[in-house]
Structure 1
Amino acid sequence: MNSQTMSIDPERSWPSWAISITVVAAVMLVGSAFPAGEWYQSLAKPTWQPPPWIFGPVWSAIYAALAASLALLLQAPPSRQRRRSLVAFGVMLLLNAAWTPLFFGLQSPLLAFADVILLWIAAVCSVLTAAAARPGAAWLQLPNLLWVSFALVLNGVILALNW
């Protein structure tokens, strides 16, 4: 590893963290604006679905890791790989933010399933492009990819059980 990829410029570090935390917090706020409610309680769900209390801590940890990943990407030297990674990350975050309003707001497991399929593809692309731009940023995105993979299966099963 060369010193350029491992060094952190203090002048670029603070703004990148502030931007990262703000962006990821905005996505979290979108999700919290659409509680599960009675409609969700009435849906048939698989027996292996985690208890409701687990989602808050898991997503909080994932969003913290995503904020750190974004900060690392923003601190990376400008390059084609960095630009691609930031675009992939942005698409992934937008699709992530869209899932909760689609599922809980519109009460549409079908639209949410379409979104989570695209979200999974975007999360894979985000990890791969981050690996080329800043490997540490890619590693920080792996918990998100794993959870989105689980969410894809869970959303699909809920859709099938309630079709």
Structure 2
Amino acid sequence: MTASIAAFLGFIAAVAAVAVTGVVFKPGAWYERIRKPGFTPPDWLFPIAWTVLYLMIAVSGFLVWREVGIAGAPVAFLFFAAQLVFNAAWSPLFFGAHRPDLAMADLGLLWFAILATILSFWEVSVLAALLLAPYLIWVTYAGALNAVIWRLNGARPRPAGTV
């Protein structure tokens, strides 16, 4: 196996590890019962959108790695790693802990980490940076959704009919 194939598989593995949190911490009954805004997408859309986004994230990181390696863009890859960490934290905070307030704080950090990654990647590969633009747009939308859910339900929402 060549170094490029191994690196690409490494980027796929990194984003797959992040995606696992979304599999472990699913919406579930709690999410079904809390109040949500009218612009909430159907549940079936999330896995499709995230599969495409995760693939784009992996390809983006790989393209920069292929151009300069991690040592050639250490700050860019620090931002890249940070956005993966913040991404992985959101599902446990929102769906696991039922804390849209903490998830919102995480989303703010995630948004800035994605933007910093885009700006850093732009210097190396415009295509790599552009591949992250839909991710930033989706996280912006997710932030609006998260914020309204927080406003409608409070910091620790309880399903209707519970005390």
Question: In the alignment, is residue 144 of structure 1 matched against residue 135 of structure 2?
Answer: yes
**Aligned equivalents of 2:70, 2:140: Cα separation in 1:** 29
Q: Corresponding residue for 1:105?
A: 96
Is the Cα contact below 8 Å between 1:20 and 1:70 reproduced in 2?
Answer: yes
Deviation of 1:83 after TM superposition, in Å, equals 1.4
Runs of 4+ aligned residues of structure 1 deviating over 3 Å after TM superposition are: 78-81
Q: Which amino acid aligns with 2:90?
A: W
Q: Corresponding residue for 1:155?
A: 146
Q: Corresponding residue for 2:43?
A: 52
Larger helix proportion of the pair: 1
Question: In the alignment, is residue 42 of structure 1 matched against residue 33 of structure 2?
Answer: yes
Deviation of 1:35 after TM superposition, in Å, equals 1.1
Deviation of 1:12 after TM superposition, in Å, equals 3.5
Deviation of 1:78 after TM superposition, in Å, equals 4.2
Q: Corresponding residue for 1:96?
A: 87
Q: Where in structure 1 are there 5+ consecutive unaligned residues?
A: 1-9
Post-superposition Cα deviations, 1:123-149, rounded to whole Å, max 9, x if no partner, equal 111111110122211011111101001
**Aligned equivalents of 1:78, 1:99: Cα separation in 2:** 28
**Aligned equivalents of 1:136, 1:62: Cα separation in 2:** 14
**Aligned equivalents of 1:25, 1:79: Cα separation in 2:** 19
Question: In the alignment, is residue 68 of structure 1 matched against residue 62 of structure 2?
Answer: no
Deviation of 1:81 after TM superposition, in Å, equals 6.1
**Aligned equivalents of 1:78, 1:116: Cα separation in 2:** 28
**Aligned equivalents of 1:72, 1:13: Cα separation in 2:** 10
Q: Which amino acid aligns with 1:145?
A: L
Deviation of 1:80 after TM superposition, in Å, equals 6.9
RMSD value, Cα: 1.5
Q: Which amino acid aligns with 1:129?
A: S
Post-superposition Cα deviations, 1:33-71, rounded to whole Å, max 9, x if no partner, equal 011111111111001111111001000000010110111
TM-score normalised by L of structure 1? 0.89
Is the Cα contact below 8 Å between 2:70 and 2:77 reproduced in 1?
Answer: no
Deviation of 1:76 after TM superposition, in Å, equals 1.8
